[in-house]
Amino acid sequence: MTEPKIISGFSKLDRLQKIEWLIEQLKLDKETLEQLNRFQLSEQAIQQLIADLSENQLSNFHLPFSVAPNFRVDGKVLTFPLVTEESSVVAALAKAAGYWAKRDGFHTEIIGTEKKGQVHFSWNGKPEKLSESFSELKEELERDVAPLTQNMEKRGGGITNIRLKHLPEVRPNYYQLDVAFETCNAMGANFINSCLEQMGKTLKNWAKANGDFRDDEKEVEVIMAILSNYVPNNRVKVWVECPVEDLDSDADQAHALAMKFVQAVHISRHDVSRAVTHNKGIFNGIDALAIATGNDFRAIEAGGHAFAASSGQYRGLSNAGITNGNFWFSLEMPLAVGVVGGVTSLHPLAKLAMQIIGQPSARQLMGYLAVAGLASNWSAVRALVTTGIQKGHMKMHLSNILNSLQVSDEQKQAAMLYFQHREVSFSEVQNYLKEHAK
């Protein structure tokens, strides 16, 4: 590939100029413009809205918008909207939903909704001076940030606590203003960051007014002010349970499934090699629903993985067991989400997704996301301890294999029928096509 020249002001070029620059600098096919145009939306207003969501937009990268019905959650039957390129994820969710709908469904419990952020700073004065004056400083922080919090407070949210933390083990003279927030139905990132940045300004002004700067002009140095995606007190628990005998129509098979399933989950709780893949399976479901509803799946994953390692060892996020003849399977994790503002309120399909799932509150959506994670995890682990993961996965992947081999619709239908009860692999599909070539 030809190395492009360094360019200044690329973002100021219009869309066509950006594409022309790429074609020229990277020696791309002349058909590149036509290809990019094919994925643009014909309705200009919606296309402009999508383009404005990001920077340097050239076209749209489409992913399937799917649904999985039959989710019984806290007694209510729901359909989950999903955005993922992996067909087996949608199939797994739908299968788990139908299975557990017949067994009293999924149950949720919101453990907390506290979000956090910090003002990170250095204090070069005497430690006792800062701690003794903190109550006074706290009053100034709350007063100065009040114009930013008043609307959130009207909705029942706002700042719930401000703590001073001294962390010399991180670096000498290092402190935090550790701030807790309730953001109601908003994810709240912009709100939290605006409050924290104002607190940073207030901290510096307070130090100038109250500190002795004759000897040290930098008694306070604000390093940064930013929310944290680690929100262990913004947490949800979801679970399913039933008598062991109800897991399968055959009693022996039911007991064997329960024992092997619990064993597999136990391994994920103690072996990091399995735990990472185990949790990836959980996020298959969570991410698909998060993207569909316009939520930040990257922040959700970061917080989830941190929580998985909070004991000092990275562990599987779900747990399972058999108690008094009852099989249970649960998931507890932090989930910071929003149902107002941002992409959720802007993207037409995110709005539709919220309608499909019943316009939930942020607390309800926390539960639904965790349910999607547990459902995905159930299907994956069940397959692993019974038929193996590849049988179902490759069946769902068959369509992608056939599309990559550019077969006709007639060949595709014949191949789908042929492999309905056969093992699927790329080589087996290739062999079948060669044998049945006209």
- Residues with a catalytic annotation lie at 86, 280, 296, 393
Sheet arrangement for strand 107-110: 107-110, 235-243, 326-334, 318-323
Please report the beta strands in 74-206, taking only residues with DSSP state E, as ranges in sequence order. 76-83, 107-110, 115-123, 158-166, 174-182
Report residue 305 as tokens: 């993985």
Distance CA 434, CA 438 (A): 9
**Strand-by-strand arrangement of the 158-166 sheet:** 158-166, 174-182, 115-123, 220-228
- CB 195, CB 145: distance < 8 Å: yes
Integer angstrom CA distances of residue 59 from 24, 29, 306, 342, 345: 18, 16, 34, 21, 21
What does R_g of the chain's alpha carbons equal in angstroms? 27
Contacts of 171 (CB under 8 A, 6+ apart): 122
403 alpha carbon, distance to own chain's centre? 29
Residues counted in the chain:
438
d(C-alpha 313, C-alpha 324), whole Å? 30
Q: Determine the 3-state secondary structure of 256 from DSSP.
A: helix
